[in-house]
Amino acid sequence: MVEFYDSKFVDVDGDAIAYIDDPNPSWANIKDCGEFPCTAPDNVLFQFFDTEFEGSKPRWATDDF
């Protein structure tokens, strides 16, 4: 989990807040995951607290998200 405090976004499009690249398939480790595909690189949580938006902002913009 990654937490952000007192962030300020200026004229940011809602689709541009974060980009998470697809995990590299070579990261899969049969010893750790067996036949089940590893999903850990896709399990990401971002939390923002006391956020400020200036200029254009996403319609979902809130102080905490």
Q: How far apart are the first and last CA of the chain?
A: 13
The position carrying tokens 């971002």 is: 46
Tell me if 59 is assigned to some domain: no
Cα–Cα dist 61/50, whole Å:
11
Question: In whole numbers, what is the pLDDT of the chain averaged over residues?
Answer: 83
Kindly state the percentage of the chain with pLDDT values over 90.
31
List, for residues 36-62, the tens digit of each pLDDT value: 666 666 778 899 999 999 998 888 889
Tell me if 63 is assigned to some domain: no
Domain housing 41: 2-54
Number of independent structural domains in the chain? 1
- E strand or H helix that includes residue 47: strand 46-49
Tell me if 25 is assigned to some domain: yes
- 28 φ, ψ to 5°? -60, 135
Tell me if 43 is assigned to some domain: yes
